[in-house]
Structure formats: C-alpha cells, structure tokens
Amino acid sequence: MELLKKLTQAFGPSGNEQTVRDIITEEIKGFCDETKVDTLGNLVVRKYGGGKKLMLSAHMDEIGIIATVIDDKNFVHFSEIGGVKINALHSSKVKFIDGTIGIIYEKSEKPTKFSDLYIDIPNICKGEGLYNISVGDTAVMASEFNLSGDFVSSKALDDRVGCYILLETLKSITKPNYDLYFVFTVQEELGLRGAKTAAAGISPDYAIAVDVTVCDDIPGGGKYPLVLGKGPAIKVKDGSVICHPEIKRLLADTAKAERIDIQYEILDKGGTDAGAIHTTGVGVATGALSIPTRYIHTACETASISDIKNAVKLLSKVCGDTL
C-alpha cells in the first residue's frame, strides 16, 4: 500500500495535478508503449493490443481551496475547488504546495459559505520570506494516511484510489484483449472536464471510469445499499450517466467467472468521468467501477483494501491475460 500512500499524500487540487502526474509517469515506466500529456494536462498511457479501444480512466485531481484575497493583516480569504463541504473544512488544517500549513476558522458564527471562513497562516510574509502565499495559490486538506486492518483512511482517496487501481491493473497485464488506454484525468471535481477532452482525443469504443462512490452504511445512513468490504461496485447510474448494458454485463460476467463479490451502485446525484466520456463524439459504450467509500470529500475518506484489490483483479481480467 506504499504506492497508495504516496498517491494520496501527493498534492493535486483540480488544475494543479502536476505532482500526481509525475508520480504516475514514474510508476508506468516499462509497462506501457506510449504516453502523452494533452492540452489540459491529462496523462494518456497506451498499451498496444489488437482490436477495439478500451479506455480506463481515473482522475488525478482532488478537492481543495484557492486563495482569492490576502488582506492587509495577512489573513487569507479563499474559494473552494470542487465540492468541498463547509463543515469538513471548518477548524481544520490545509496544506499548500510548498508544505505551508494554514488553519481555517470562521469569520461569523455558523458559517454557510466559504466567504464566512478564512485561513490563518501565522508566519505568512506577504511577497517575500519563508512562507510566500499569493492570490491563486491552492491548498488541500492536510491529513495522515492510516491503515488499519482491511481499512484505509486518507484525504484524496477520491480518486487516487482509482489511479492506484489503474496502475496495478496496467502492471499485471501480460496480453491485452483490447487496445488499452489508461487515462489519468484532470479537473474531474470541477465538472468532468479532463475526461471530456481526453475521450475526444482517443475516440474509444468502450470506456470504464474508476472512482469512489458514496458508502452509506453508517449511522443515519442506509439510503444506498452499498457496504464497505463487500466488493467493488458496478455503477448502474448516477447524475451524469446511465451505464451501458454491455459494459455492466462485461464487468458482472467477469466477476462471476473470477468469483469476485460485487455490488451495484445507484446514485441520484453526482457524477464521474463516465458522464463526460459517454457523450463524446458519436457516443462511447461506457460503464464505471466504484470503490465504496465513507466520508467522501473530507480529510478522512475511508475504503476497504479488499474492495480495492478485488477491483484490480476484476479490471485486469477484463483487460486481458494477467500474471
């Protein structure tokens, strides 16, 4: 799990995926035939195989914040990047790219918008010096990587866990069944943006997006039936896509043959890269495989290691012969 730790601890708010991309670029060396970074910053990794094009995607970016105003007392005012929850930020720490830690607190009681919060960087020195934060700088939630039994907690499991699964899948394949494209996308949290242009560049026949999904098996939950540790989830629908029956079948049949437990995911709202991919060009038969995750978009996203391993096994079998 060292790789997952490295990936989740890396700095990569939407639009600033460079660090994550560098880690992945290093990891794939020797396992692929072609790599390319496109205009928006998506990393497209190709492994030659015969026949139809299958695109697997996971997004590199995570939610975060962006400094908009630094006032004359050096307090930082900010906006959110992606679907950040106010409660998850309040009274917590954020980390800038250079490691600077900021403390978030409220300007007014019961904050309801991000302008009700500010960041205090005690040692900030505007313009020069040790801590140098400027307007437009971004930060992510500061958090430890915790492993405990079958469970892993960290920031940015959404969607570094997807990146991890793609990497492990790529490494395990000996003989591809398809012309494989492993795509590490940008700006998913801002509206599935990277996946859209990446898919336009590839024009795949099939696509599978790998991401986290809401796991609601917690006190006060229960609306969605997913349970942590009961297997990766084959997406049926969310707010952005209704998955293609062929891809659902492919995933389900492979799982059955390999005796991998799976669950089915149905979300009313929210979206993943699959949403952007399936309406690209003349249309792409698209599905998604999700890792049930508790506390998404907080500093302590929690998932099951066995679900993650099963997802790797399942995807590898879908993609080709494996080690």
Partner 1 sequence: MLKILSEAFGVSGAEDEVREIIKNEMLSLCDNVETDSMGNLICLKKGTKGYCNTIMLTAHMDEVGFIISGVTKEGYLRFKTVGGIDPRVLSAKKVIIGKNKTVGCIGDKPPHLEGKKKDKAASVKDLYIDIGAKDDDDALKYISIGDFACFDSEYKEFGDILIKGKALDDRIGCFILLDLAKNRYPHDVYFVFTVQEEIGCRGAGVATYSVKPDIAIVVEATTCSDVPETDEAGFSTKLRGGGAISILDRSSYSAPDLRNVLYKAAVSNGIKVQYKQTTFGGNDAGAIHLTETGIKTAVISVPCRYIHSPSCVASIGDINSVYDILDNFLKGEVNEAWSF
Partner 2 sequence: MEQLMELCKMEGVSGFEFEVGNAVKGIFEKYCDFVEADTVGNVIGVIGRGRRRKVMIEAHLDEIGLMVQKIDEKGFVRFCEIGGINPATLPGAEVYIHGRERIFGVIGAKPPHLQTKEESTKNYKIEKMYIDTGFSADMLCDKIAVGDWITFVSKPSLLQNNRICAKSIDNRMGISCLIECMKRLKDTKTDFETVFLASVQEEVGCRGAKVGAYKIEPDFAIVVDVTHAETPYTESTDTVFPLGSGAAIAVGPSLNTALTQCIINTAKKREIPYKTEVCAANSGTDAWAIETTKKGIPCALISAPLKYMHTQVETVCLDDVKAVCDVICGAIEEGIHC
- Spell out, one character per residue from 236 to 275, where the chain touches partner 1: x when CB under 8 A holds, - when not: ----------------------------------------
Q: Is 90 in the site for partner 1 (CB under 8 A)?
A: no
Alpha helices in the chain, H assignment, sequence order: 2-9, 18-27, 86-89, 157-172, 193-202, 245-257, 273-278, 305-319
Q: CA-CA distance, 76 to 78, in Å (whole number)?
A: 6
Q: Is 236 in the site for partner 2 (CB under 8 A)?
A: yes
**Which of the ranges 4-12, 110-118, 142-150, 218-226 carries the binding residues for partner 2, by CB under 8 A?**
218-226
DSSP state letters, 21-62: HHHHHHHTTTT-SEEEE-TT--EEEEE--SSSEEEEEEE--B
Q: How would you classify the pairing of strands 301-304 and 285-294?
A: antiparallel
Q: CA-CA distance, 53 to 257, in Å (whole number)?
A: 23
Q: CA-CA distance, 48 to 19, in Å (whole number)?
A: 26
Q: Are 165 and 312 in contact (CB under 8 A)?
A: yes
Work out which of 51, 200, 245, 258 binds partner 1, going by CB under 8 A. 200
Q: Is 126 in the site for partner 1 (CB under 8 A)?
A: no
Catalytic site includes residue 188: yes
Q: Is 201 in the site for partner 1 (CB under 8 A)?
A: yes
Q: Is 221 in the site for partner 2 (CB under 8 A)?
A: no
Structure tokens of 79? 């906006």
Closer residue to partner 2 (CB): 246 or 258? 246
Torsions phi, psi for 150 (to 5 deg):
-85, 0
Q: Which does 278 bind (CB under 5 to 8 A by kind): partner 1, partner 2, none?
A: partner 2
Q: Shortest approach of partner 2 to residue 292 CB, angstroms?
A: 14
Q: Is 185 in the site for partner 1 (CB under 8 A)?
A: no
Q: Shortest approach of partner 1 to residue 75 CB, angstroms?
A: 9
Residue 188's nearest CA partner among 1, 9, 20, 6 is: 20
Q: Of residues 267-296, which lie at the interface with partner 2 (CB under 8 A)?
A: 268, 278-285
Residue in 62, 80, 188, 189 annotated catalytic: 188
Torsions phi, psi for 10 (to 5 deg):
-65, 155
Q: Shortest approach of partner 1 to residue 321 CB, angstroms?
A: 32
Q: How would you classify the pairing of strands 206-214 and 285-294?
A: parallel
Structure tokens of 247? 């891809």
Closer residue to partner 2 (CB): 100 or 197? 197
Q: Shortest approach of partner 1 to residue 192 CB, angstroms?
A: 9
Half-sphere exposure of 282 (CA within 13 A, CB side): 3
Q: Shortest approach of partner 1 to residue 294 CB, angstroms?
A: 28
Closer residue to partner 1 (CB): 2 or 109? 109
Q: Is 216 in the site for partner 1 (CB under 8 A)?
A: no
Structure tokens of 76? 């930082």
Work out which of 115, 132, 279, 322 binds partner 1, going by CB under 8 A. 115
Residue numbers annotated as active site: 188
Q: Which residues would be at the binding site for partner 1 (CB under 8 A)?
A: 14-15, 38-40, 66, 68-69, 71, 77, 79-81, 115, 135-136, 187, 190, 193, 196-198, 200-201
